[in-house]
Amino acid sequence: MPISLSVILPTCDDDLRLEWALEGLCRQTVPPSEVIVVNDAGPAQTGDLVMSYRERLPVQYRYFGGSKQYQRSAAARNLGVRASTGSLLLFLDGDMVPDPDLVAAHLAHRVDGIAFFGFRRHYPMGLVRRFAGALDYASLRRASYPDPRLSQYSTWERPEQFRHFYSCNCSIPAGIFCAIGGFDERYEGWGGEDIDLGWRLTRSGVSLYPLWGIGVGTHLDHAWRPRQLGERPWHGNPAEPLCRNGGQLRRGRAMVKASS
């Protein structure tokens, strides 16, 4: 029986890069079962952009409303998961252009008890332009520089894989993700929630493995985004092996609030 794969794609006030990401998903050699885009309290036209892809992608749109001080990637991704149906969850970012084999690579390596992460190139911010009607992967690759994580593996005897578990390109069996409560929604602002998830996965007995040489994406670089300020006393605390979202994350469209 074929594995169903749900792409969860949060976006935050960046339709410019989101359009590139959606175009990349249209070019997959193996199409995803569904693509769920979650707009983190951004402009209404983001929904218009997403729904313009209905003829080319099995896309859904969710609006995560309410007031915010920082972007809420953890909570936005959880909202997308609650609306999903796939047995495998593939997390991308709204500024990530997937290579044509990215979905196929994650599907081919779907194994119970293992989560996989892929790498990325970095496309310089100064070269990012509005999508002009053609996705030229060769140009993206020529102008990009490699993921810094790749060079670190040669210097570590036993890499701590959770430190490389970035949510811009990773896949997790849905049952595992929901059982540990999803992303910890106390994380707001840029970064941290994905490494925390990787750490909790390993604490729960899940193995993390990289995809070598396949399933790469191109990150369309942008200005530095703000991190959450203030203390995070739970971060990396061995006394908190699971997040505090209220137990297991439950799925089903009836549980999803499309707006606040």
HSE (CB half, 13 Å, CA atoms) of 252? 4
- Give residue-wise pLDDT tens across range 103-133: 999 999 888 899 999 999 999 999 999 888 8
- Give residue-wise pLDDT tens across range 171-217: 999 999 999 999 988 888 777 788 889 888 988 899 999 998 899 99
- Give residue-wise pLDDT tens across range 214-223: 999 999 987 6
Cα–Cα distance measured from residue 39 to residue 64, given in angstroms and rounded to the nearest whole number: 6
Q: What dihedral do alpha carbons 132, 133, 135, 136 form, nearest 10°?
A: -60
Cα–Cα distance measured from residue 154 to residue 158, given in angstroms and rounded to the nearest whole number: 10
Cα–Cα distance measured from residue 47 to residue 79, given in angstroms and rounded to the nearest whole number: 16
Average pLDDT of 76-100?
96
Mean per-residue pLDDT over the chain, rounded:
86
- In order of 101, 113, 256, the CA distances from 142 in angstroms are 18, 36, 41
* Report for 20-24, 247-251, 256-260: range of highest mean pLDDT: 20-24
Lowest mean pLDDT across 30-34, 199-203, 232-236 = 232-236
Residues 6 or more apart whose CB falls under 8 angstroms from that of 213 comprise none
The whole-number pLDDT of residue 138 equals: 94
